[in-house]
Amino acid sequence: MTQKNMPVKELNASLSSLSQVDFKSGQLVHGKGFLKLTELPRIVDEIKKRFAEYEFSEQGLMWELHSWIDELPGGGQLYRIQLILDLAYPLECQRCLQAFSDELHIDSQFVMKESLEEVDNFPLDNDDEDALLTSHQFQLLELIEDEILLNLPLIPKHPPEVCDSKMIYIPGIAPSREGNVRHEEENEPKNPFASLKKLKFDA
Ligand SMILES: [Zn+2]
């Protein structure tokens, strides 16, 4: 398959642009940016279900979108998009019931279809890509939320070397206070910029 050369439109990273991306303009669309978790209402709901008191601050995700057109050997063409998401997402470890932040890296490919029928008839067992209904006002923001929700682990767990195996959860019995304290110290997040900050102040 060869890729068709087309003008590329740089996507404006504002929330309103991400709610209406024109995939039918005849142009290719590229873009990347940062979104706060609080700008994704269904993600906020999902987090609140697990942690009612979860404090949202600047947590967010990096997104990147590419699109291209593949020309089929027998004529015809396929408009494809790739969506890459990187985020840290708060979860509750199902082994020790402590909150932890899981890194999600999502890389998904889609082929844009002109009709719902074509989307419905797209083979479900295609592991490489899914089909989406193309639009002049495609809800990219919704797709980003869908992809995060789809990719959350069903039974989130700390990696075994991090999870405090001594804190085995017995329903009805709270983990001991001592256990909690030790656990928190071990998992205290290290700010990767802490040393940079120090350098900056020293300079
Ligand atoms: Zn754990």
Whole-number Å distance, alpha carbon 195 to ligand 1 midpoint, is 28
Q: What is the pLDDT of residue 184?
A: 42
For residues 168 and 68, give the distance between their C-alpha atoms in angstroms, rounded to a whole number.
Answer: 50
Instruction: Check if the beta carbon of residue 80 is closer than 8 Å to that of residue 67.
Output: yes
Q: Which residue has the tokens 């040393």?
A: 195
Residue 130: per-residue pLDDT: 95
The low-confidence residues of the chain, meaning pLDDT below 70, are 165-203
Q: What is the pLDDT of residues 11-42, one digit of tens each?
A: 988 888 899 999 998 899 999 999 998 899 99
What is the whole-number distance in angstroms between the Cα of residue 190 and the centre of ligand 1?
Answer: 18
Task: Give residue 200 CA to ligand 1 midpoint distance, Å.
Answer: 36
- Three-state DSSP state, 95: coil
Cα 88 to ligand 1 centre (Å): 16
The beta-carbon contacts of 103-108 under 8 Å, at least 24 apart in sequence, are 104/148, 104/151, 104/152, 106/147, 106/148, 106/151, 107/82, 107/83, 108/82, 108/83, 108/84, 108/147
pLDDT of residue 165: 54
Distance 90 CA to ligand 1 centre (A): 13
pLDDT score, position 201 = 46
pLDDT for 56: 80
Model-wide pTM > 0.85: no
Distance 196 CA to ligand 1 centre (A): 30
The pLDDT assigned to 112 comes to: 97
Please tell me the distance between residue 49's alpha carbon and the centre of ligand 1 in angstroms. 19
For ion ligand 1, residues whose CB falls within 5 Å: 93, 95-96, 158, 163
pLDDT tens for each residue of 75-95: 889 999 999 999 988 888 888
